[in-house]
Amino acid sequence: MEKLKKYKKQIFTFITIFLLLEFGVFPCLTMANTFANIIGAIALLVLALWGGLELYDYVKSSDGFVDKKELSEAERQWKEHVQKQMEEMEKINKQNESLNEKAEVKTKRKYTKKTK
């Protein structure tokens, strides 16, 4: 509910623009009447401008689309994940080195060609 209150203005604006497009602009643009087509085109431009200004206002007022706290938390979690993976890789490398030291090197057999 808190997120709904936070974005109430944007939700209302989006719904209003959608309804105006659906029931006002689109029918005007598909009519066989030139005057209605011109009015629909002007309305479409006005709605596009309104939507652009609302989007600009939202981005300007909320420091962008990404919440700074969420971004820093995600970065911290990513660093922890990478650190854990690096520790696992070091363990695996140590195991591989110890296995390589224990492994015996076998020489290849030399086969000679049989002659008749």
Residue 79 lies in a domain: yes
The verdict on 10 and 59 lying in the same domain is yes
Residues 14 and 90: their CA atoms lie apart, in Å, by 52
Q: Yes or no: say if 39 and 28 are a contact pair by the CB < 8 Å rule.
A: yes
Residues 43 and 38: their CA atoms lie apart, in Å, by 9
Q: What is the value of pTM for the model shown?
A: 0.49
The verdict on 13 and 57 lying in the same domain is yes
Give the model confidence (pLDDT) of 47-91 as tens digits: 999 989 988 887 777 665 666 777 788 899 999 999 999 999 999
Q: In total, how many domains does the chain have?
A: 2
Tracing tokens 């643009």 back to the chain, one arrives at: 29
For residue 23, give its domain range: 1-64
